[in-house]
Structure 1
Amino acid sequence: MEGLQSLPRNIGGSVQPTFQIYGPLLVKNADAIRSTKCETFTYGGHPRQKLDVYYPTQTQRRPSLASNNVPVLIFLHGGGLVAGSKNIPGFADGLAHANVGHFFAEKLGYTTIIPDYRLMSHGARFPSGGEDLAQVVDWVTETLSRQDGYSSIDLFIMGNSAGGIHLATYMLTADFAASRRKVMSMDPEVPVSLRGIVLLSVPFNFKQTDQSRADVLKAYFGEDVHAHSPQGLLRAAMLKDPDDVFSNVKVMVLNGTLDPEDEILDPKADFLKEWKGLNEDSLAAVTVDMMEGQNHISPPLSLGTDIEKEEAWGFQVGTFLSSLRSSG
């Protein structure tokens, strides 16, 4: 976090210097990060569709007091639709995003799943990010739930930046209604219950996006970029059936105080204004919070550093998730 204040707030200008700040901090804690048990699985037919599962130790596992369900968190990394990986090559000895899995497993007791998803170079086109996430959710339901100790799961999903776009796509489009119904039905016969989502520094619309990304956005989203943005999807879902938007699931919208105003914070305000048109239950479902001193790139890199002020936002998320698990 030291030094972030002096960096450019725009996304492109903050990437490399932020990585330079956090690389040594992660390497310093490499032994602890690598001590967390991790297994890799395939969740789909494309070579990119693999995921890492980070397991808490038996002493760290914390089934819900209300339901005895085991908590599982899916984390979707960012990367602007063109980059990003569950383990970023050439950075910090491959510790990112293993540090995220380590933090949530070791310090909060969540079995943490970090998938790769298809990028533009793999032919990704809207709504492919939602498709990949739906397949990960299916993997949790059909595979993880058959492992010893996972017969009943409280599921949470956090999407960071572009990963949050894919999470919004999954939650707000009709393409994935069947997948959502399966894990949001509250049916005791279904082994997985989606309890909450976290939208972490998500670009909810692209009205002020840097022009350098215009071609990528058009290639991924098609001609009507704004209709397929998270805010556009929210508007369409509200017009179709406002009572079904985020039904039975709680939402946290979380941003860094150093997130850029134009590409992130202003669109967040637009998204939340749109949300005010929902019903009272949906309005009550959203929690809005800030990560003090974090910029757009730093949050995933700051976990696993074992530095209190760096990891504070992870505990903010943990408090939100715990409140949902304690409510039954």
Structure 2
Amino acid sequence: MLEAWAPLLSVSAIEPTVRDVPYGEHPRQVLDVFAPEAAANLPILVFVHGGAFVRGDKEQTPLVYANVPAEFSRHGFLAFNVEYRLAPEASWPAGAEDVRDAILWVARHAEKWGGDPTRIFLMGHSAACAHCASAVWDDRVRPPEGLPVAGLALVSPRVVADTRADNPNAHGVRAYYGEDAARYAEREPIGLVRPDAPPTLIALAQYENPLLDFYALELAHRLAAVADQDKGPMPRVIQLMDHNHVSIVAQFSTPCNELGVQMCDWFERVLRGDFGARKLLRSAKAASEVSKSC
């Protein structure tokens, strides 16, 4: 799949502004910076790669995953590509702690490259969604005041600690969450959604890895239930047709990019308050304004 997308990605590839900037002391606690020229007061996108908890790299190939921050850099974001420690060397909650530390580092240093630390969006793919969601939702990881994240985007999210026989990455779940399955429910992010969290976007492919589409939809249902009961933000859910678990990220920075366009729309709506705490529909007046704009 990566080879199939390589010709399109090679045309649009751009080099990071700065590579392997440390946000911690471990060799894998580094990030790449993608800064547009003459950047000032830009929204920020922090991307975290997948890898079933035990593998993966911010440059899985010379083109992927750098294509993701490159995509948003072209759309006027200061973008960061984050590396983190892997299991079994770094077990739960180390991945989430690394994401937390990377976000706090970005908030402190983003202005150097023209970023606005009050407009940070956090995006993860696959297993990294567990780290991103836990960093934002889990009181055992996030700072007491929360993380400075305006919105959370979870792409093909692995948010359940699942060791079923039909999960081809069950070994990674055990390596990160431990062998004691009785602890999984208290550690997996799907059970940690909260009404005071930032708005969440969930994207899934039509042809997902086993079970991930079910878990993505279950997460959306739980977020919607929290929005209904506790006035939290409603999630936005996108299913990318004709894509699978790899192509959903490989398509960024190509002419075939569909998800990036929808994500940019969601970012804009979050920043203007459309995805804040749930409110009653703004009556016929709002509907009339929408119809006029169309």
Please indicate the TM-score interval, normalised by the length of the shorter structure: 0.7 to 0.9
Q: Is the 8 A contact 2:198 2:233 kept in 1?
A: no
CA-to-aligned-CA distance 1:122-157 (integer Å, 9 cap, x gap): x11011111001110111122223x16346541000
Cα shift at 1:248: 5.4
Which residues of 2 match residues 82-121 of structure 1 at below 5 A? 82-88=54-60, 91=61, 94-106=62-74, 108-120=75-87
> Displacement, 1:81?
0.9
The separation in 2 between residues aligned to 1:51 and 1:35, in whole angstroms, is: 13
Output the amino acid matched with 1:111. L
Distance in 2 separating the partners of 1:182 and 1:264: 26
- Is residue 21 from structure 1 mapped to residue 1 from structure 2 by the alignment? no
Q: Which residue of 1 aligns with 2:290?
A: none
1:182 Cα deviation (Å)?
Answer: 5.2
Pick aligned residue for 2:20 from 35, 40, 64: 40
1:294 Cα deviation from its structure 2 partner: 1.4
**Alignment partner of 1:172 is 2:137:** yes
1:129 corresponding residue in structure 2: 95
* CA-CA distance at 1:99 after TM superposition: 1.6
Aligned to 1:315: 261
Output the amino acid matched with 1:318. Answer: C
Measure the CA separation in 1 of the matches of 2:15 and 2:197.
36
Match of 1:214?
Answer: 170
Shift of residue 102, structure 1, vs aligned partner: 1.5
Following the alignment from structure 1 to structure 2, what is the Cα–Cα distance between the partners of residues 293 and 270? 21
- Alignment of 1:288 with 2:288, yes or no, is no
Q: Secondary structure at the residue paired with 1:84?
A: coil
**Secondary structure class of the residue paired with 2:152:** strand
Identity of paired residues, percent?
Answer: 25
Matched, 1:258 2:207: yes
Q: Distance in 2 between matches of 1:302 and 1:279?
A: 31
Counterpart in 1 of 2:150?
195
Task: Report the number of matched residues.
Answer: 269
Tell me which amino acid in the other structure corresponds to 2:76: G
Larger % of helix: which? 1
Rounded to whole Å, the distance in 2 between the matches of 1:174 and 1:297 is 31
**Which string of whole-angstrom CA distances, capped at 9 and with x for unpartnered residues, describes residues 49-78 of structure 1?**
0000101223xx5x7xxxxx5200001111
Residues 31, 80 of structure 2: 8 Å contact kept? yes
Task: Provide the rounded CA distance (Å) in 1 between the counterparts of 2:202 and 2:65.
Answer: 21
* 2:220 is the counterpart of 1:272: yes
Give the CA deviation at 1:246: 4.6
CA distance in 2, matches of 1:298, 1:209: 25
Query: Residues 173, 105 of structure 1: CA spacing in aligned structure 2 closer, same or farther, 3 A cutoff?
Result: same
Are positions 1:298 and 2:255 aligned together? no
Amino acid at match of 2:34: Y
Determine the C-alpha separation between the residues in 1 that align with 2:117 and 2:168: 45
Cα offset for 1:283?
5.0
Say if 1:230 and 1:249 are closer, same or farther in 2 by CA, change over 3 A.
same
Partner of 1:75: 47
Rounded to whole Å, the distance in 2 between the matches of 1:209 and 1:273 is: 25
| Offset of residue 322 of structure 1 | 1.1
Q: CA deviation at 1:203?
A: 2.1
Q: Distance in 2 between matches of 1:52 and 1:320?
A: 24
| Aligned-pair CA distance for 1:269 | 2.7
Structure 2: gaps spanning 5 or more residues: 275-294
Counterpart Cα distance in 1 of 2:121 and 2:266: 11
Whole-angstrom CA distance in 2 between matches of 1:250 and 1:37: 29
3-state DSSP of counterpart to 2:242: coil
- Partner of 2:52, secondary structure, is coil
In 1, Cα distance between the equivalents of 2:240 and 2:169? 26
Contact kept, 8 Å, 1:77 with 1:86, in 2: the verdict is yes
Equivalence for 1:186:
none
Q: Which stretches in structure 1 are left out of the alignment for 5+ residues?
A: 1-17, 64-68, 184-193, 235-244
- C-alpha distance in 2 between matches for 1:74 and 1:320: 15
Q: Could you tell me whether the CA contact under 8 Å between 2:28 and 2:85 is conserved in 1? A: yes
Identify the residue that residue 198 of structure 2 maps to in structure 1. 249
Q: What's the counterpart of residue 3 of structure 1?
A: none
Aligned-residue offset at 1:173: 1.2
Partner of 1:326: 272
